[in-house]
């Protein structure tokens, strides 16, 4: 028996009845001994979104690139099956959201004319330094046509304008909001410090023979002892440089703190000018680092960054409010996924 479903509009009800009748007739025909034995469902409804439907062929079209990729990965059959189901569900949910936003576009009467689409395509060409011929060739390589590109751009523009109408126009970020963010995130605006390092090190890396490693460590422990006794790092470093012995010393330069390895950041991060690290075992050998100079980061004033902060807060709030708006839309819509 075919199921009975109630809908809001006569047009949609008629359309759905036709779908259901065809489905039932297909089922009856496959049960007929004289009919084709291996009948195959070529299309069916997989989701109802208010007065719109999503059909299997639409889902499969969007799903194909992902299924091709998953198949090529060579996963075990069970994992591949789970991934296929997960991707399929994600695509259906995305298509449901698109139907909802398309319905809202119609509700608000939002229109994008042909000239706006052509202008957007021109901007794409200019940004990518493409001629018309190059763009068409790129589209062909992707299995697309100019008409498909126009359709995709129109849909993107319609949804962007919907966000403006439904969400963006209701958001205001004040100067006070930006000031609060500035005060609560000083690390973002004080600039990154720079640190000037010297070092003394062995010339034997840690993967050398055990006897070589031990000898190098003994030499470095002697340097440690001299430093602990109060000798200046600079004096010891100059002496080592002149001796050309088993140890080396170098002025290795000024660095932005953020480019140092995490291990070195930890070792020198709390040191002041004129202080040095303990003995560090590194891939290059045993080392002691000396902080010759520290330059504090150049901080920015609030007025220099207020516009950037407002834009950042605005974008974050748009994303949050749009998700909330979409959740409300889902909550108040008739959505049925047919597995």
Residue 255 lies inside a defined structural domain of this protein: yes
Residue 125 lies in a domain: no
The token pair that represents 330 in the structure block:
């889902």
Torsion of CA 236, 241, 244, 245, to 10 degrees: 30
* pLDDT at residue 4 is higher than 50: no
- Bridge-partner residues for 285, per DSSP? 282
What span, in angstroms and rounded, lies between the C-alpha atoms of 276 and 279? 9
The lowest-confidence range among 243-247, 287-291, 313-317 is 243-247
Within a domain: 227: yes
Q: What is the pLDDT of residues 152-163, one digit of tens each?
A: 899 889 988 988
On whether residue 248 sits in a domain, the answer given is yes
Host domain of residue 278: 192-295
* pLDDT over 70 (residue 1): no
Q: Count the domains in the chain.
A: 1
In a domain, 200, yes or no: yes
Closest CA to 9 of 48, 45, 55: 48
Token pair in block for residue 180 = 């609060």
Q: Residue 10 pLDDT more than 50? A: no
In a domain, 138, yes or no: no
> What is the CATH number for 225?
3.10.50.40
Tens of pLDDT along 213-228? 888 889 999 999 999 9
Q: Is 130 a residue whose pLDDT tops 80?
A: yes
Does residue 297 contact residue 256 with C-beta atoms inside 8 Å?
A: no
In-domain check, residue 222: yes
Amino acid 30: pLDDT = 38
C-alpha 59/C-alpha 49 separation (Å) is 14
Q: What pLDDT is recorded for position 206? A: 57
SS (H, E, C) the chain: CCCCCCCCCHHHHHHHHHHHHHHHHHHHHHHCCCCCCCCCCCCCEEEEECCEEEEHHHHHHHHHHHHHHHHHCCCCHHHHHHHHHHHHHHHHHHHHHHHHHHHHHHHHCCCCCHHHHHHHHHHHHHHCCCCHHHHHHHHHHCCCCHHHHHHHHHHHHHHHHHHHHHCHHHCCCCHHHHHHHHHHCHHHCCCCCEEEEEEEEECCCCCCCHHHHHHHHHHHHHHHHHHHCCCCHHHHHHHHHHHCCCEEEEEEEEEEHHHCCHHHHHHHCCCCCCCECCCEEECCEEEEEEEEEEECCCCCCHHHHHHHHHHHHHHHHHHHHHHHHHHHHHHCCCEEECC
- Read off the pLDDT of residues 21-79 as tens digits, 9 standing for 90 and up: 334 333 333 344 343 344 455 689 999 999 999 999 999 988 888 888 888 888 898 99
User: What are the tens digits of pLDDT across the range 313-329?
Assistant: 998 888 888 889 999 99
Evaluate whether residue 260 is within a structural domain.
Answer: yes
Cβ contacts of residue 33 below 8 Å, gap of 6+? none
What local confidence, expressed as pLDDT, does residue 310 receive?
94
Cβ atoms 264, 289 nearer than 8 A: yes
């Amino acid at each position: 028996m075919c199921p009975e479903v109630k809908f809001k509009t006569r047009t949609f009800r008629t359309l759905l009845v036709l779908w259901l009748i065809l489905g039932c007739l297909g089922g009856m025909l496959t049960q007929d001994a004289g009919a084709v034995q291996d009948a195959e469902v070529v299309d069916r409804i997989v989701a109802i979104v208010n007065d719109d439907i999503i059909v299997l062929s639409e889902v499969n079209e969007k799903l194909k690139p992902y299924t091709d990729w998953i198949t090529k990965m060579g996963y075990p059959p069970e994992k591949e099956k789970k991934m296929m189901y997960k991707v399929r569900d994600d695509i259906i949910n995305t298509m449901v959201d698109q139907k909802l936003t398309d319905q809202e576009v119609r509700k608000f009467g939002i229109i994008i004319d042909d000239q706006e689409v052509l202008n957007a395509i021109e901007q794409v060409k200019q940004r990518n330094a493409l001629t018309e011929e190059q763009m068409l060739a790129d589209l062909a390589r992707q299995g697309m046509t100019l008409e498909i590109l126009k359709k995709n751009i129109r849909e993107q523009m319609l949804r962007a304008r919907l966000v403006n109408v439904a969400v963006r126009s209701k958001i205001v970020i004040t100067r006070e909001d930006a000031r609060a963010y500035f005060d609560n995130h000083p690390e973002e605006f004080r600039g990154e410090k720079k640190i000037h390092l010297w070092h003394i090190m062995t010339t034997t890396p840690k993967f050398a023979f055990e006897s070589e490693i031990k000898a190098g460590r003994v030499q470095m422990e002697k340097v440690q002892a001299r430093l602990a006794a109060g000798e200046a790092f600079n004096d010891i470093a100059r002496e080592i440089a002149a001796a050309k012995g088993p140890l080396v010393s170098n002025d290795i330069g000024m660095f932005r703190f953020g480019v140092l390895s995490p291990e070195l950041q930890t070792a020198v991060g709390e040191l002041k000018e004129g202080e040095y690290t303990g003995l560090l075992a590194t891939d290059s050998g045993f080392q002691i680092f000396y902080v010759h100079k520290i330059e504090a980061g150049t901080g920015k004033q609030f007025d220099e960054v207020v516009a950037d902060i407002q834009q950042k807060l605005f974008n974050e709030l748009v994303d949050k409010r749009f998700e909330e708006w979409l959740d409300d839309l889902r909550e108040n819509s008739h959505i049925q996924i047919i597995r």
